Structure 1
Amino acid sequence: MAVKRSEHVGEDVRQVLRIAATRLLRQLPELTEELVARVREGDEAYRRFVTPDDHWQSTEEGLRVGIEAILQRPDERRDLEFARRMAGRRAEQGLPLESLMRMYRLAAQVTWGAFVDLIEREHAELLPALVRTATHVWHAIDRQALMAADIYRRREKELLGRSTERVNALLDELLEGVADTAVARSAAAGLDLPERGRYAVVTMRLAVRHDHDGSRPNGYGTPGVDGRPEVLGPMRLLWRMRAQYEVAVVALGEATLEELAEGMTAVAYGPAGVSPVVGGLVELAAARRLAELAMRTCEGCGPEIARLDRRLPSALVISQPELSGRLVSEVLGALLGLDPTDREVLLATLAAWLRCEGSAARAAGQLYCHRNTVFNRMRRLEQLTGRSLSRPRDIVELALALDATRLLS
């Protein structure tokens, strides 16, 4: 008897679902109107990303296939396929996943409310059986929601990959010098940047290993991912990976190069070069070359920010290696034959004297020696080079030659 009663209850459940589904299909326009109104009223994202016509048509189709699924065998159900298709479309439109899930919750409320109203009005004797269908109805909608969420995340990840590839391609065109006015206009739209504006380029040497996803490891500055924007105060940076260094297009806005250099100090994990300010996207390739030049004036592998406008003599030396090598031979040739220790002492003294703007006392403080020792070393350097520290032109030659020995090696 218990089995027969169970079978009878199961048939009651199926009967009430079939009756309700058949009746609700006739009320589809009203149900669609109610659900669309509730969704759009409480969710700005739907109003922003989904047009009213699109929203109404997709809601009508979703309710119809969901209700019809009750009348079909499990292998004929099309509601899950609809959920899959619609989730991918909403991801492409940019609708947040939270908004999509909220829509499914509201759809469940509207559908179940319509079931209850209809049965109570037309078949009150079936209300006990209807209660037993609640789990079935809500489970069916949950399956649709879970399916939609899974497809949405997959599609979003795929779209994000394509978007990153597009951003990287646009950055490459700008930074490699293939940009013309048309490319700059396309890049401005694709990167959400003004075609004309105050820009700079930063290059940073890769002094540490990067994680597999292209982000900087913890402890080495603010995480920056290839092709993704990074905010630095009022500035916006778009990073791009290279074989030996990273490069960033910097939309300065009203910020100065000083502010950029200060901001980079907080996140730099290796030597970095900062270009001069340029006036638009088409000038970024030239700015990138100047930033690379500035970066090459840095010593060692530790964090150091080099602004080109503060390193012009050193950048000049690097950009003309053949002439710079000749300058070293002509100016410092006599020092090159000295014992390495003796040579390094004289060059270090010259470097300190230049840093201290010709003050022997201050140079002595940096070198931890007596000021007379500095005078003696400088006189010996004058004798070996044939240059006089009282002649400005000779000082320029000595300074450039010193830079060349440091940078070209």
Structure 2
Amino acid sequence: MFDHDTERWDDVVERTRGRLDAMVEQFLARAMADPAYADSALTAEDLRRASVQSFTAILDSLRSDGTADVLISIAESIGTRRARQAVPLDSLLRAVRLDFTVLWDNLADPACGAEPALLVRNAGRVWATVDAFAAHVQEHYLAEQVAIEQADADLRRQYLSQLFGPTRPTGAALDRIAGALRIPKTGHFCVAATSRDDGVTVRRRLRALTRRDDSFLTYDVGHHTLFIWPTAQTALAGLPPTAKELFADMAVAVAPVARGLVRVREAAAAAREIMTDLPMDSTGVATLSDRWRSVTRHLLADVGCELGQIVFPYLEKCTELERTKILETVRKYLETGSLGDTGRALNCHRNTVLNRLNAFEKYTGLDVQRPYDAAAVIISLE
């Protein structure tokens, strides 16, 4: 820029500075038209003060002897505060870039004495200054947002640790936990468990949701990651669409609905037990209705109560062929619950089916036509 141009440009900048109050009012009128600004915790006084600081620092940096040091400091302050005030980032950046529109309208006003050619030669500088300002605001906004999210996550982990700790929380502790997690103490909750590896994927999917969903609480325990979210359902009738999307292409164990925060501990234990019971390389949703037989068998076996012992040792009294036919008939009957259907499936007479069931009762003492005995036999034959 020629020396004469420099003097003329500095004069235009100073003339524009004299219109600072009018520029601030123009900016406020346009910015507050954004509902995100109008509905946020941001006050008009805060916005006015930031606008005065921003325009002043931009004009200082546009002078031939100006630097961007103060402008960068203001950008850090604005970005950090707006993140804490939960102003959406896109609304914030639109407001910051309004600075260019308002500033350019005033620089180009004939009253400021700028010739068109002078404005053209400096247009790139004005835009680059405002754009760099916006970039610094965004950088500090995102950094503060990460810090806020980390602090929130640490707080949630702290209270979830109390919920799932070695001792059951008292009623007063549950009140504190519900308040800190912003969830209803008496509400209903879905509790799901995945492997820790899949838990990383689900968390990534949660962050990528178009509309952020903060209703999902996550907690790592052992080899599993727990996911807890409120539900209006009193019994599980399938995962909601958002949850289906989150848990797609992986194994997820879902416990019966927890009625109240006090029941979430038990639901979490159930979800983890179902998850542990699943075969390797499983995918899809597994519930207690799907896995109760296998879970029961494993839990009983872990304490030395293998239910197979109430059946198989007693069948050693019969021949191998007879044992094979009896067990085949018992299994089919437990699937169908019908003598006729069992006979048709095995291609034998109804009376033959009844005779084999009677033989099973003779050897084991268990009558599979009685629900109580049938439940025990179902588990023992798993």
Give 1:75 shift.
5.2
- In structure 2, the residue matched to 1:383 is 362
Give 1:403 shift.
0.8
1:284 and 2:264 are equivalent in the alignment: yes
Compared CA separation, residues 97 and 70, structure 1 to 2 (3 A):
same
- In structure 2, the residue matched to 1:270 is 251
- Partners of 1:349 and 1:374 within 8 A in 2: yes
Distance of 1:350 and 1:245 partners within structure 2: 37
- In structure 2, the residue matched to 1:194 is 184
- Partners of 1:294 and 1:307 within 8 A in 2: yes
- In structure 2, the residue matched to 1:259 is 237
> For residues 169-318 of structure 1, what are the structure 2 equivalents within 5 Å?
169-176=158-165, 179-203=169-193, 206=195, 210=198, 213-215=200-202, 238-253=217-232, 255-260=233-238, 269-270=250-251, 272-278=253-259, 280-292=260-272, 301=282, 303=284, 305-307=286-288
- Correspondent of 2:372 among 396, 399, 409: 396
The residue type equivalent to 2:251 in the other structure is G
Compared CA separation, residues 291 and 29, structure 1 to 2 (3 A):
same
- Partners of 2:256 and 2:267 within 8 A in 1: yes
Residues 279-320 of structure 1: per-residue CA shift (max 9 Å, x gap): x22331123234445667777845464346x98787666555
TM-score, normalised with respect to structure 2:
0.77
Q: What SS class does the counterpart of residue 210 from structure 1 fall into? A: helix
- Correspondent of 2:139 among 124, 127, 150: 150
- In structure 1, the residue matched to 2:70 is 78
The share of aligned pairs that are identical, in percent, is 19
Compared CA separation, residues 197 and 71, structure 1 to 2 (3 A):
same
- Partners of 1:328 and 1:404 within 8 A in 2: yes
- In structure 1, the residue matched to 2:29 is 37
- In structure 2, the residue matched to 1:88 is 80
Q: What SS class does the counterpart of residue 287 from structure 2 fall into? A: strand
Distance of 2:157 and 2:104 partners within structure 1: 48
TM-score, normalised with respect to structure 1:
0.73
Q: What SS class does the counterpart of residue 187 from structure 2 fall into? A: strand
Compared CA separation, residues 178 and 28, structure 1 to 2 (3 A):
farther
- Partners of 1:324 and 1:404 within 8 A in 2: no
The residue type equivalent to 2:98 in the other structure is L
Q: What SS class does the counterpart of residue 305 from structure 2 fall into? A: helix
Distance of 1:299 and 1:343 partners within structure 2: 29
Distance of 1:89 and 1:71 partners within structure 2: 28
Residues 299-348 of structure 1: per-residue CA shift (max 9 Å, x gap): 7845464346x987876665554777265434542237889998676445
- Correspondent of 2:91 among 91, 99, 104: 99
Gaps of 5+ in 2: none
Q: What SS class does the counterpart of residue 138 from structure 2 fall into? A: helix
- Correspondent of 1:48 among 39, 44, 67: 39
Distance of 2:328 and 2:217 partners within structure 1: 39
Give 1:270 shift.
3.3
Compared CA separation, residues 345 and 210, structure 1 to 2 (3 A):
farther
Distance of 1:334 and 1:400 partners within structure 2: 15
Residues 128-174 of structure 1: per-residue CA shift (max 9 Å, x gap): 43443222222211221223233333443443344444444444443
Distance of 2:174 and 2:230 partners within structure 1: 14
Give 1:399 shift.
3.1
Count of paired positions: 373
Distance of 1:71 and 1:265 partners within structure 2: 57
- Partners of 1:201 and 1:274 within 8 A in 2: yes
- Correspondent of 1:139 among 125, 128, 141: 128
Give 1:95 shift.
1.4
Gaps of 5+ in 1: 1-8, 218-222
RMSD of aligned Cα (Å): 4.2
- Partners of 2:255 and 2:271 within 8 A in 1: yes
Give 1:83 shift.
1.7
Distance of 2:307 and 2:218 partners within structure 1: 37
Distance of 2:112 and 2:206 partners within structure 1: 63
